[in-house]
Amino acid sequence: MSGNAQKKLYIKTWGCQMNVYDSRRMADILAPLGYRESDSPEDADMVILNTCHIREKATDKVFSDLGRLNKHKQKKEKRGEKMLIAVAGCVAQAEGDVIMERAQYVDMVFGPQTYHELPEMIIRATGERVVNTDFAVESKFDSLPQEHVPQGVTAFLSIQEGCDKFCTFCVVPYTRGAEYSRPVQQIIDEARRLRDSGAKEITLLGQNVNAYHGMAPNGRTMGLAELIAAVAEVEGVERIRYMTSHPRDMDQDLIDAHGNIPKLMPFLHLPVQHGADEILKQMNRKHTADDYRDIILRLKKIRPDINLSSDFIVGFPGETDRHFEELMQLVRDIGFGTSYSFKYSPRPGTPAANMQNIVPEKIKDDRLQTLQNLLFSQHREINETFVGKAVEVLTDGKGNRPSQLHGRTSHNQAIHVTCDPALLGQIVTAKVTSASATALTGEII
Ligand code: SAH
Ligand code: SF4
Ligand code: F3S
């Protein structure tokens, strides 16, 4: 496509890393149509809100953003210019019709499995309002462009998407659809292109990334451990991570990969959600607290220094003080270097939304506070064990001060390193001088 004047594109992204990946790919799709990303919505020719539906208030936030955007749109229209407003992502999938009805100035609504059709949708949107929330038969991945707008030294690569697990609290199986694994060759080709555009660290993404079972070139099915080994063969890719994993799919091959693939970083985000078997059962997690403990034991046998992360939900229906104490005990037993913890938020259409014995908001608040106090003290203690040690850091941006760069250690800690700013984008060795619950500070050696 040619002859297109430069157009201004603004994308705002909420939610998980898969949404971040999707936003990048939307920019890739729109680049050949003349759209260049800008960091403000004012004057934009097209605005995409890439939304998340995981917890409540998500939809409210989208509507308040839409209200502001409409003012920009009106101003442009007074000058005889157009601004296309699109709502994408998981709120679009779940509430597309509501959005179209409540916000008449929205031009397009499309779900996570349809954005490869953006060029056609834009053409259609010149004449009508477009809603596209299909779960396409053809995978969008087969029609995404080969070109990438460079993303820097760290890149996300979606390898799997959708979810068949149906945890009772979660909207993802409804907004993203059934589990799908991309073919191996497609992933390796994309890893090479990301490397060519400057990526040194690749995070393989999926809603259940370790359920990956993609078709290899010889027609065999490959699991995540083998795929990681194949990506590790790509020269120039120095670091590999993956997220998010489910305990059910944490097989021995993947655990072993943490011992025998040096490029696989010593960090694992493995959401457990809860520590009481009765709650885990009600959540339909299909694992017990001891199953989780056992996975961690086996992992630590292979990689004793692995840095662990998890997601937790407090205040799920039926959660008693005893259940909550079992969750606290699991956290004490394991020790997490970083974590995400949430109050349970009922989501329309999910089984848990109709469960009895809802936990009062005040108790949810107290439990979240108690849990986070424990978690944050663990994060600090674990980070403090790194003080005085040498760590490998991939620098990825500016630091707190001009003499510093920001980066990530192998263990995935954020770190501010005092060093020559010309070292941006390099893997450097730094000595850790101090640590907090959320970050390290160090100097280059
Ligand atoms: N696929 C991943 C993550 C899903 S969403 C997984 O299976 O672990 C990210 C996190 O949001 C979840 O791990 C969970 O802790 C939290 N979450 C999901 N639904 C929620 C809800 N209804 N209320 C509160 N937290 C929720
Ligand atoms: Fe949601 Fe559970 Fe699927 Fe994760 S495994 S995306 S929490 S349904
Ligand atoms: Fe949110 Fe959808 Fe991701 S609901 S967490 S953006 S899969």
Give the per-residue pLDDT at 221.
97
- Residue 11 CA to ligand 2 centre (angstroms): 26
- Residue 89 CA to ligand 3 centre (angstroms): 7
Helices (H) and strands (E) in the chain, counts: 12, 21
Would the pLDDT of 111 be above 50? yes
Q: Report, as an integer, the average pLDDT of 412-422.
A: 96
Give the per-residue pLDDT at 280.
98
* CA proximity to 384, closest of 329, 429, 331, 337: 337
Which amino acids bring their CB within 6 angstroms of ligand 1?
A: 54-55, 169-170, 172, 207-208, 244, 246, 271, 273, 311, 313, 342, 344-345, 347
230 burial level (CB within 10 Å; 0-12, 13-18, 19+): middle
User: Cα–Cα distance between 37 and 60 in angstroms, integer?
Assistant: 25
Would the pLDDT of 1 be above 50? no
Give the per-residue pLDDT at 4.
56
Would the pLDDT of 30 be above 80? yes
CB-hemisphere CA count at 13 Å for 190? Answer: 25
Q: Is 341 in the pocket of ligand 3 (CB under 6 A)?
A: no
The pLDDT tens digits for 55-100 are 988 788 899 999 999 999 999 999 999 999 999 999 999 999 999 9
User: Cα–Cα distance between 64 and 115 in angstroms, integer?
Assistant: 23
User: Does residue 441 have a cis peptide bond before it, meaning omega lies within 30 degrees of 0?
Assistant: no
Give the per-residue pLDDT at 60.
85
Confidence of residue 225 (pLDDT cuts 50, 70, 90): very high
Is 419 assigned to a binding site?
Answer: no
- Residue 170 CA to ligand 1 centre (angstroms): 6
The pLDDT tens digits for 320-335 are 999 999 999 999 999 9
Confidence of residue 136 (pLDDT cuts 50, 70, 90): confident
Q: Report, as an integer, the average pLDDT of 438-442.
A: 97
Q: Report, as an integer, the average pLDDT of 415-420.
A: 96
How far apart, in Å, are the Cα atoms of 237 and each of 187, 201, 266, 392, 441?
Answer: 13, 6, 16, 15, 25
Give the per-residue pLDDT at 85.
97
User: Cα–Cα distance between 169 and 349 in angstroms, integer?
Assistant: 9
Would the pLDDT of 127 be above 90? no
How far apart, in Å, are the Cα atoms of 60 and each of 67, 176, 300, 313, 323?
Answer: 11, 20, 43, 22, 32
Q: How many Cβ atoms sit within 10 Å of the Cβ of residue 177?
A: 19
What is the best residue among 90, 207, 272, 311 to mutate for testing ligand 1's pocket, by most ligand atoms within 8 Å of CB?
311
User: Cα–Cα distance between 275 and 325 in angstroms, integer?
Assistant: 8
Query: Which residue blocks in 197-276 are alpha helix, DSSP H?
Result: 224-232, 252-260
The residue whose CA has the least distance to atom 7 of ligand 3 is: 172
Q: Report, as an integer, the average pLDDT of 195-207.
A: 96
The residue whose CA has the least distance to atom 11 of ligand 1 is: 54
- Residue 57 CA to ligand 3 centre (angstroms): 13
Would the pLDDT of 137 be above 70? no
Q: How many Cβ atoms sit within 10 Å of the Cβ of residue 444?
A: 15
- Residue 138 CA to ligand 3 centre (angstroms): 21
Which amino acids bring their CB within 6 angstroms of ligand 2?
A: 163, 165-167, 170, 172-173, 207-208, 246
The pLDDT tens digits for 2-26 are 445 799 999 999 999 999 999 999 9
Mean pLDDT of the chain: 95
What is the best residue among 56, 95, 171, 172 to mutate for testing ligand 3's pocket, by most ligand atoms within 8 Å of CB?
172
Q: Is 163 in the pocket of ligand 3 (CB under 6 A)?
A: no
Would the pLDDT of 265 be above 70? yes
Going along the chain from its start, the domains and CATH numbers come out as: 7-132 (3.40.50.12160), 144-383 (3.80.30.20), 389-444 (2.40.50.140)
Eight-state DSSP code of residue 35 = E
Is 163 assigned to a binding site?
Answer: yes
Give the per-residue pLDDT at 134.
87
Regarding beta strands 338-343 and 307-314, do their DSSP bridges make them parallel or antiparallel, or are they unpaired?
A: parallel
User: Cα–Cα distance between 217 and 219 in angstroms, integer?
Assistant: 5
Beta strands in 273-403 (DSSP E): 307-314, 338-343, 390-398
- Residue 69 CA to ligand 3 centre (angstroms): 22
The pLDDT tens digits for 389-400 are 999 999 999 988
How far apart, in Å, are the Cα atoms of 417 and each of 298, 403, 409, 440?
Answer: 33, 8, 11, 8
The residue whose CA has the least distance to atom 1 of ligand 3 is: 52
